[in-house]
């Protein structure tokens, strides 16, 4: 006999207990509704899809799915590592608009941050594979527009569309892996697709150099660099979608149960439209995207050239964005029938701590990373290739460390000590930066410090994500993952803004103090990379520039160290959650909303 639940409507009258069950899952069902009301299943379509799929997955099937994710993630990683070079070539050569480089980068950051909850919501309501196909379409469409763009506006529009697609693909990869992996194995499988991409740290520079030329002699070839991903990414996404689709086809009856009703009338098209409107929480999505989009936009560009905090448009964006954010919180708390993130989750201690860590860790990294590349060229006297690789060492080491920690967690079954260890290492690494990020630091000193920092990064980012997932119900898994990543990216933007503010308020004065020629000092601040070609190491101007950048890096390092120390203290507030072989904790799954903390203890 099949274990698949029957999808037929019951022939008996709906009991009060059954109605209460469904009413609790559907806030739109008001008290006093009769049995002929159409009642909805307790779990969303996307969650039911993955639960049915997970129950029948074999080892061979998992190998195909994880292998498909790894191949696709490798290509998308290569895309991200090379995209910055293509962006520089496009804005400088093809469109003669190099000043828009930071604006487009800021635009990408905004879309990356605010698109996470909407994508997660669509994946829950419409289904995982349907949302995955939509993201592949957006990715390809965006890059087609970019590769054929004849002006900077078309390029920016295509980039915005593409960011929605690639952000969605990475988010859905995280959600689907969480859907089918056990708690004790989740950390390893979450990082597994990223492992092949570590190769791109070392080869991406060679690829862009071979395509564009050593001095960008073939800069117009960026269109081919973008165009190849229009083919590669959709092609490698097909095996993932086929694997998911075949598995879901076997369990179609379990995924699509008929609505429970007492022979009530069928809903009209308008009623279905209204139902989808409330299910997707369109009002909440608009408030979220508008509010946080405005705030992140002004945070990322307010310290740049041509835009400042005191400008009228900056004040307007901050004011309107703040109002929309407050409106979003109030709407989700009191008005939304299906909130993007259930407020009951925000009463759990581990969830609260993880959100704080999602603010502190990327903010500290944003401060530390501010103008580090420029410092390497000016004060560190590194070549472009060497500077690029040094800045990537932490990412490379962090990925491998996270994979090792994934194996460790499988056996120790707890995440808290790993996260605390990560912050201890991060405080140590940032402290070393205070000592070694100065004028004249050697390549070995800079590389070793980045290596140490990578060990800390690998013990924080993905482990904290796994920790916040461990205390969430399966129904809330997509929402809580998207919420965590949204806060993470927003905090990174805030950290970069803090670092940019420190740099822009420190370097100009130091340049004026150390360089007697005020005109030359202004040039050294505005165009340091261009000026170092005229003044090699050992010349008075270059020494003054190195000193100014080295002293500013010390201030940035002290700020980052202080933030990391706060993160270490906060990490001790995590609960000791024992990871099991199930997708979610049984106690958490059975607990009533608002009582997850008691279930975990």
Helix axes 152-180, 477-514, angle to 10 degrees: 130
> Over 90: is that where the pLDDT of 100 sits?
no
Dihedral in degrees, nearest 10, Cα atoms 594, 595, 596, 599: 180
Residues 389 and 431 in one domain: yes
Residues 210 and 313 in one domain: no
Query: Distance between alpha carbon 497 and the CA centroid of its chain, in Å?
Result: 18
508: in domain:
yes
Instruction: Count CB-CB contacts under 10 A for residue 270.
Output: 8
Taken in order 213, 217, 219, 222, the sign of the CA dihedral is: negative
CA distance 135 to 166: 7
Range of the domain at 291: 281-337
> Over 70: is that where the pLDDT of 11 sits?
no
pLDDT of residue 303: 55
pLDDT of residue 473: 85
Q: Scanning the structure block, which residue is given the tokens 């103090």?
A: 513
Q: What is the mean pLDDT of the chain?
A: 79
Highest-confidence segment of 335-339, 386-390, 476-480: 476-480
Q: Scanning the structure block, which residue is given the tokens 């292998």?
A: 67
363: in domain:
yes
Choose between 321 and 138: higher pLDDT.
Answer: 138
35: in domain:
no
> Over 60: is that where the pLDDT of 259 sits?
no
pLDDT bracket for residue 92 (50, 70, 90): low
Highest-confidence segment of 136-150, 303-317, 438-452: 136-150
pLDDT of residue 558: 94
Rg over CA atoms, the chain: 26
266: in domain:
no
pLDDT of residue 17: 36
First to last CA, the chain: 38
Q: Which of 470, 396, 428, 395 shows the shortest CA–CA distance to 568?
A: 428
pLDDT bracket for residue 441 (50, 70, 90): confident
| Domain end marker among 222, 256, 290 | 256
pLDDT of residue 205: 73
Tens of pLDDT, residue by residue over 34-77, are 333 344 445 777 788 787 777 777 788 888 899 999 999 999 99
Backbone angles phi, psi at 30, to 5 degrees: -85, 155
> Over 70: is that where the pLDDT of 291 sits?
yes
Q: Which residues of 406-426 are buried (b: 16+ CB within 10 A; e: fewer)?
A: beebbeeebbbbbbbbbbebb
Residues 435 and 498 in one domain: yes
Residues 170 and 202 in one domain: yes
pLDDT of residue 568: 95
pLDDT of residue 3: 36
Highest-confidence segment of 135-149, 246-260, 427-441: 135-149
Q: What percent of the chain has pLDDT over 70?
A: 82
pLDDT of residue 97: 65
pLDDT of residue 1: 36
Stretch among 4-18, 112-126, 512-526 having the lowest mean pLDDT? 4-18
pLDDT of residue 35: 38
pLDDT of residue 8: 34
Residues 418 and 557 in one domain: yes
61: in domain:
yes
Residues 371 and 396 in one domain: yes
pLDDT of residue 15: 38
pLDDT bracket for residue 265 (50, 70, 90): low
Highest-confidence segment of 73-87, 287-301, 335-349, 458-472: 458-472
Dihedral in degrees, nearest 10, Cα atoms 565, 466, 119, 283: -60
275: in domain:
no
Whole-number Cα distances in Å, 334 to 28, 112, 343, 357:
13, 27, 10, 27
DSSP 39: B
Tens of pLDDT, residue by residue over 350-369, are 999 999 999 999 999 988 88
> Over 60: is that where the pLDDT of 261 sits?
no
Residues 397 and 286 in one domain: no
Residues 557 and 459 in one domain: yes
Q: What pTM value is reported for the model?
A: 0.81
Tens of pLDDT, residue by residue over 182-232, are 889 999 999 999 998 888 888 877 777 777 765 455 556 788 888 889 999
SS3 content of the chain, % helix, strand, coil (to 5): 75, 0, 25
pLDDT of residue 99: 54
Query: Distance between alpha carbon 161 and the CA centroid of its chain, in Å?
Result: 16
pLDDT of residue 107: 72
Residues 289 and 244 in one domain: no
Average pLDDT, integer, range 96-121: 74
Residues 578 and 555 in one domain: yes
pLDDT bracket for residue 301 (50, 70, 90): low
Whole-number Cα distances in Å, 505 to 167, 253, 277, 356, 501:
33, 63, 47, 28, 6
267: in domain:
no
CA distance 113 to 167: 9
pLDDT bracket for residue 10 (50, 70, 90): very low
CATH number of the domain encompassing residue 582: 1.20.1250.20
The H-or-E segment that residue 300 falls in is helix 282-301
pLDDT bracket for residue 411 (50, 70, 90): very high
Residues 304 and 430 in one domain: no
pLDDT of residue 400: 94
pLDDT of residue 418: 96
Residues 368 and 322 in one domain: no
> Over 90: is that where the pLDDT of 20 sits?
no
Average pLDDT, integer, range 324-332: 86
167: in domain:
yes
Number of domains in the chain: 3
Strand partners, 39: 260
pLDDT of residue 138: 94
| Domain end marker among 256, 273, 299 | 256
Q: Scanning the structure block, which residue is given the tokens 């994710």?
A: 69
Highest-confidence segment of 255-264, 388-397, 523-532: 388-397
| Domain end marker among 221, 256, 291 | 256
The residues, ordered by sequence, that sit 6+ positions from 290 with a Cβ below 8 Å of its Cβ are: 321, 324
């Amino acid at each position: 006999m099949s274990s698949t639940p029957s999808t037929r409507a019951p022939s008996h009258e709906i009991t009060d207990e059954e109605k209460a069950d469904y009413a609790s899952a559907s806030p739109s069902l008001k008290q006093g509704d009769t049995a002929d009301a159409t009642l909805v299943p307790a779990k969303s379509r996307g969650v039911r899809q993955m639960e049915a799929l997970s129950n029948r997955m074999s080892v061979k099937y998992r190998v195909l799915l994880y292998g498909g994710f790894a191949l696709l993630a490798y290509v998308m990683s290569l895309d991200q590592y090379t995209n910055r070079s293509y962006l520089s070539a496009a804005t400088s050569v093809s469109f003669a608009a190099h000043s828009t480089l930071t604006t487009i980068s800021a635009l990408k950051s905004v879309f990356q941050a605010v698109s996470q909850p909407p994508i997660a919501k669509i994946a829950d309501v419409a289904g995982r594979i349907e949302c995955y196909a939509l993201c592949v379409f957006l990715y390809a469409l965006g890059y087609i527009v970019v590769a054929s763009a004849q002006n900077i506006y078309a390029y920016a529009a295509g980039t915005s569309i593409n960011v929605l697609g690639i952000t969605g693909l990475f988010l859905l990869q995280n959600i689907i892996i969480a859907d089918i992996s056990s708690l004790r194995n989740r950390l390893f499988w979450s990082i597994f697709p990223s492992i092949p991409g570590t190769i791109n740290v070392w080869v991406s520079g060679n690829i862009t150099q071979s395509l564009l030329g050593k001095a960008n002699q073939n800069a117009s070839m960026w269109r081919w660099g973008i165009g190849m991903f229009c083919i590669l990414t959709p092609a490698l996404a097909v095996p993932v979608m086929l694997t998911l689709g075949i598995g879901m086809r076997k369990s179609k009856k379990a995924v699509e149960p008929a609505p429970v009703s007492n022979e009530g009338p069928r809903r009209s098209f308008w009623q279905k439209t209204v139902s989808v409107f409330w299910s997707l929480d369109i009002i909440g999505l608009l408030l979220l995207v508008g509010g946080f989009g405005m705030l992140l936009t002004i945070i990322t560009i307010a310290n740049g050239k041509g835009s400042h905090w005191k400008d009228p448009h900056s004040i307007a964006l901050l004011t309107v964005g703040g109002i929309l954010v407050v409106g979003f919180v109030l709407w989700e708390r009191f008005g939304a029938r299906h909130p993007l993130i259930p407020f009951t989750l925000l009463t759990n201690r581990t969830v609260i701590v993880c959100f704080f860590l999602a603010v502190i860790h990327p903010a500290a990294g944003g401060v530390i990373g501010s103008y580090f590349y420029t410092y390497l060229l000016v004060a560190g006297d590194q070549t472009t290739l060497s500077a690029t690789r040094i800045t990537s060492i932490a990412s490379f080491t962090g990925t491998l460390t996270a994979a090792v920690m994934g194996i460790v967690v499988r056996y120790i079954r707890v995440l808290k000590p790993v996260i605390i260890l990560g912050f201890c290492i991060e405080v140590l690494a940032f402290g070393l930066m205070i000592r070694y990020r100065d004028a004249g630091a050697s390549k070995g000193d800079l590389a070793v410090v980045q290596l140490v920092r990578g060990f800390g990064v690998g013990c924080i980012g993905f482990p904290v994500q796994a920790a916040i997932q461990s205390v969430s119900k399966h129904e809330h898994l997509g929402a809580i993952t998207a919420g965590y990543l949204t806060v993470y990216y927003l905090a990174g933007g805030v950290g970069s803004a803090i670092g940019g503010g420190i740099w822009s308020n420190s370097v100009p004065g130091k340049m004026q103090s150390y360089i007697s020629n005020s005109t030359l000092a202004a040039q050294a601040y505005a165009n340091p990379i261009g000026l170092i070609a005229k003044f090699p190491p050992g010349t008075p101007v270059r020494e003054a520039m190195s000193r100014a950048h080295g002293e500013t890096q010390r201030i940035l390092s002290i700020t980052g160290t202080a933030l990391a120390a706060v993160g270490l203290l906060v990490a001790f507030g995590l609960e000791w959650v024992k990871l099991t072989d199930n997708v979610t904790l049984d106690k958490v799954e059975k607990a009533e909303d608002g009582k997850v903390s008691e279930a975990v203890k």
